[in-house]
C-alpha cells in the first residue's frame, strides 16, 4: 500500500451521528498523525467538523458527481463512515486509491478494504459502530473514545447573542425530533416541566428546534406562564452549538441537539420512546436517560400505531426529579 499522506473522512449525514463520529475522526488522526486530514460532510453538519482541532479542513458534500470532481487527485485514502453506496461511489469515481468502509449497501466491489459489520456492535452506541469499522480496516482504536466537543468562542458569543442580555441561567427545551412524532414527549409536559424547573432554578427557558418545529415550540411557549425565548428555526448550527453551550440544563427527546449538548458537557435529561437507547444514548457522564420499559420498545417507528405509552407513561414529576438529581450531582 502506498504511503497515506492525504486522507478524507466522509462524515455521516445527520447531526447526532456526526457527534457520535467524533471519536472515530480522532482515531483516524491518531493513526495518521502527519497526514493532511479533511472531512467531507453535508452542508448542514459540515461546520461541526470545522470546530474539531484534529481536522485540517472541511469540504461540503453536494452530490456523487460533484464530490468526485472536487476530490479527484486530492487524496490517497478515503474513510467512509456512512453505509451508503453513494458515498463509496463518489470516492471510486474520484479515483482515490484506498477506499475503506463497511461492506454494506452492495458496495463491496467499490472498496479496497470492506469488512462486514461485526455482531459485537449490535446494541452498542454508534460510537462503537464507527470504531469497529476502523478496526476492521486495520486501524488502531485502542485508546479511549473521545466524544467531546468544544464550542469555539465566536460560536459561544453568537449563542449568547441569541439568548439576549439577561443574566439568568438558561434551561433549554428541545421538544421536536426530525424522525417523526413517535420520538416526541408530550408537549404539555414539556411546558409543565420547563415551568417547574425554571421556577426552582430562577432560570429562563429557551425552546429549541428547526423551522418545522416552530408551531410545536409556540404551543409549548403559549402553555407556559413565564415567557420563553423561541428559537425554533432561528439558529444556524454554530448558533445552536453556542446556545447549547450556555445552558444550565437541556430537556430533550432523542435528537441531534441532545448529542451536541452531551458532547459539550451540558447536563442533559433525555426522554426516549421508540428508538434504541442502547445505540443512540447520549455520550458522556452528565446525562440522565428516561424511558418506560414497555414491551413494544424499541419499535423504531415514526408514528405510534397504538397509544404512545412509551412516552405518555413518563410523567412531568419524573423528568423534573431526574433533572434536579442531575443538577445536584453536577
313 binds ligand SF4 (CB under 6 A): no
Shortest CB 177 distance to ligand SF4, Å: 12
Question: Is the Cβ–Cβ distance between 98 and 71 less than 8 Å?
Answer: no
23 binds ligand SF4 (CB under 6 A): no
Among 78, 81, 127, 182, binds ligand SF4 (CB under 6 A): 182
φ/ψ of residue 294, rounded to 5: -80, 155
Among 23, 274, 282, 284, binds ligand SF4 (CB under 6 A): 274
296 binds ligand SF4 (CB under 6 A): yes
Of 295, 313, 275, residue with least CA distance to 14: 275
306 binds ligand SF4 (CB under 6 A): yes
39 binds ligand SF4 (CB under 6 A): no
101 alpha carbon, distance to own chain's centre: 20
Q: Which distant-in-sequence residues (6+ apart) come within 8 Å of 57 by Cβ?
A: 36, 38, 39
Among 301, 316, 319, 320, binds ligand SF4 (CB under 6 A): 301
Shortest CB 294 distance to ligand SF4, Å: 5
Alpha-carbon span 70 to 90, nearest angstrom? 10
Alpha-carbon span 294 to 327, nearest angstrom? 28
Considering only the stretches 98-106, 122-130, 253-261, 298-306, report the one whose residues sit in contact with ligand SF4 under the rule CB under 6 A.
298-306
Among 294, 321, 326, 327, binds ligand SF4 (CB under 6 A): 294
Of 230, 239, 270, residue with least CA distance to 254: 270
* Cell 397504538 belongs to residue: 306
Among 86, 168, 299, 327, binds ligand SF4 (CB under 6 A): 299
Q: Going by DSSP bridges, is the β-strand pair 170-174/247-253 parallel, antiparallel, or unpaired? A: parallel
282 binds ligand SF4 (CB under 6 A): no
308 binds ligand SF4 (CB under 6 A): yes
Considering only the stretches 103-111, 152-160, 190-198, 301-309, report the one whose residues sit in contact with ligand SF4 under the rule CB under 6 A.
301-309
Considering only the stretches 20-28, 41-49, 257-265, 295-303, report the one whose residues sit in contact with ligand SF4 under the rule CB under 6 A.
295-303
**Strands lying side by side in the sheet with 77-80:** 57-60, 36-41, 6-10, 77-80, 98-100
Q: How many helices (H) and strands (E) does the chain have?
A: 14, 11
* Cell 421508540 belongs to residue: 274
Residues found near ligand SF4 in the complex (CB under 6 A): 182, 273-274, 294, 296-297, 299, 301, 304-306, 308-310
Amino acid at each position: 500500500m502506498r504511503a497515506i499522506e492525504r486522507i478524507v473522512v466522509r462524515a455521516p449525514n445527520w447531526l447526532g451521528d456526526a457527534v457520535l463520529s467524533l471519536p472515530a475522526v480522532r482515531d483516524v488522526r491518531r493513526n495518521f498523525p502527519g497526514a493532511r486530514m479533511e472531512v467531507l460532510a453535508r452542508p448542514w453538519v459540515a461546520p461541526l467538523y470545522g470546530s474539531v482541532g484534529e481536522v485540517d479542513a472541511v469540504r461540503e458534500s453536494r452530490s456523487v458527481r460533484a464530490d468526485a470532481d472536487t476530490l479527484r487527485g486530492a487524496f490517497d485514502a478515503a474513510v467512509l463512515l456512512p453505509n451508503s453506496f453513494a458515498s463509496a461511489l463518489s470516492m471510486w469515481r474520484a479515483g482515490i486509491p484506498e477506499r475503506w468502509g463497511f461492506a454494506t449497501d452492495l458496495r463491496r466491489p467499490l472498496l479496497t478494504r470492506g469488512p462486514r459489520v461485526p455482531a459485537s456492535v449490535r446494541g452498542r452506541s454508534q460510537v462503537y459502530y464507527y470504531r469497529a469499522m476502523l478496526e476492521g480496516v486495520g486501524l488502531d482504536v485502542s485508546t479511549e473514545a473521545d466524544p467531546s466537543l468544544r464550542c469555539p468562542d465566536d460560536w459561544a458569543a453568537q449563542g449568547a447573542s441569541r439568548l439576549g442580555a439577561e443574566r439568568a441561567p438558561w434551561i433549554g427545551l428541545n421538544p421536536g425530533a426530525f424522525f417523526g412524532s413517535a420520538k416526541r414527549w408530550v408537549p404539555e409536559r414539556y411546558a409543565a416541566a420547563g415551568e417547574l424547573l425554571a421556577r426552582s432554578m430562577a432560570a429562563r427557558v429557551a425552546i429549541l428546534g428547526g423551522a418545522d418545529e416552530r408551531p410545536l415550540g409556540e404551543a409549548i411557549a403559549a402553555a407556559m406562564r413565564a415567557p420563553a425565548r423561541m428559537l425554533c428555526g432561528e439558529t444556524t448550527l454554530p448558533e445552536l452549538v453556542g446556545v447549547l453551550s450556555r445552558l444550565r440544563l437541556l430537556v430533550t427527546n432523542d435528537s441531534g441537539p441532545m448529542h451536541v449538548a452531551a458532547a459539550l458537557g451540558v447536563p442533559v435529561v433525555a426522554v426516549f420512546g421508540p428508538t434504541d437507547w442502547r445505540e443512540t444514548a447520549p455520550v458522556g457522564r452528565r446525562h440522565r436517560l428516561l424511558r418506560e420499559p414497555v414491551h413494544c420498545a424499541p419499535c423504531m417507528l415514526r408514528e405510534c400505531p397504538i397509544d404512545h405509552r412509551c412516552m405518555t407513561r413518563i410523567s412531568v414529576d419524573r423528568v423534573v426529579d431526574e433533572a434536579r438529581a442531575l443538577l445536584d450531582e453536577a
